[in-house]
């Protein structure tokens, strides 16, 4: 998809960036660090069928839609990925992502492993980045240090994190892995991987002399 009108800021080096990682690994902080450091980056806002709360801002936190509208998007293949969580559905609208890519933006999706597999199947040129903990023991300690849940809930999250890491390593959706043993260093590593991938894509798409 190409935008109907080109803007002065439009370029031809758009890239779709997928960032994933298990709960407690710090992926959201790293995602925001990448977003702040790259001036033409935009963060994809998911559509959801969950109810909007007083704290939610439409189009910033989520795009709130009805169950019927969400199903219509599924039927029209208008979502790059979607999932159902506790009876509510969440997904990434395809048209907005494609428009931003056509304008040369770095489009960031912070999604889970299953979503990343769906996106990669539809847009294999996307760059997948997975955030790892320095060790399983460190991840378990981070989950406990948040003091939000019971030990039973923490252990359930930990088992899910182990599964996610295993699937991420095996599924082929990720092009790079970043270990978050030090937050600043992890952000710099993520930025280096993203810039290298974008430069590589820019060279591939450049016309030959």
- What confidence tens digit (pLDDT) does each residue in 172-208 have? 999 999 999 999 999 999 999 999 999 887 666 555 5
What mean pLDDT do residues 36-60 have? 94
- Residues 39 and 54: their CA atoms lie apart, in Å, by 30
83: its two tokens: 């999932």
- Residues 114 and 118: their CA atoms lie apart, in Å, by 7
**Helices 151-171/113-122 angle, 10° precision:** 20
Strands 176-179 and 127-132: parallel
- Residues 59 and 52: their CA atoms lie apart, in Å, by 11
Helix (H, G, I), strand (E, B) or coil at 84: strand
Q: Cα(first)–Cα(last) distance of the chain, in Å?
A: 26
Of 12 and 149, the one with more pLDDT: 149
Q: How many H helices and E strands in the chain?
A: 7, 9
189: its two tokens: 């590593």
Helix (H, G, I), strand (E, B) or coil at 93: strand
Q: Which pLDDT score, from 0 to 100, does residue 117 have?
A: 97
- Residues 115 and 70: their CA atoms lie apart, in Å, by 16
Q: Write the DSSP symbol of residue 133.
A: -
Of 21, 16, 29, 70, the C-alpha closest to 47 is 70
- Residues 131 and 28: their CA atoms lie apart, in Å, by 10
Instruction: Report the run of H or E that residue 139 belongs to, with start and end.
Output: helix 136-145
Instruction: Report the run of H or E that residue 79 belongs to, with start and end.
Output: strand 79-85
User: 43-52, 126-135, 197-206: which range is least confident on average?
Assistant: 197-206
Question: If pLDDT is split at 50, 70 and 90, which confidence band does 128 have?
Answer: very high
- Residues 108 and 190: their CA atoms lie apart, in Å, by 12
């Amino acid at each position: 998809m190409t935008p109907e009108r080109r803007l002065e800021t439009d370029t031809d080096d758009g890239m779709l960036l997928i960032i994933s990682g298990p709960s407690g690994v710090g992926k959201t902080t790293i995602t925001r660090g990448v977003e702040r450091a790259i001036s033409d980056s935009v963060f994809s806002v998911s559509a959801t069928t969950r109810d909007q709360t007083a704290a939610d801002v439409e189009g910033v936190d989520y795009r709130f839609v009805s169950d019927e509208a969400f199903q219509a998007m599924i039927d029209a293949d208008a979502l790059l990925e979607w999932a159902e969580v506790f009876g509510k559905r969440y997904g990434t609208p395809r048209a907005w992502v494609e428009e931003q890519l056509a304008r040369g933006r770095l489009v960031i999706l912070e999604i889970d492993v299953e979503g990343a597999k769906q996106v990669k199947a539809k847009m294999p040129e996307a760059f997948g980045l997975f955030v790892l903990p320095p060790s399983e023991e460190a991840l378990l300690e981070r989950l406990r240090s948040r003091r939000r849940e019971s030990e039973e809930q923490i252990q359930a999250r930990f088992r899910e994190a182990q599964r996610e890491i295993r699937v991420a390593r095996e599924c082929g959706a990720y092009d790079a892995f970043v270990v978050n043993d030090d937050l600043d260093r992890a952000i710099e590593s993520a930025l280096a991987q993203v810039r290298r991938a974008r430069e590589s894509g820019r060279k591939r798409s450049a016309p030959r002399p």
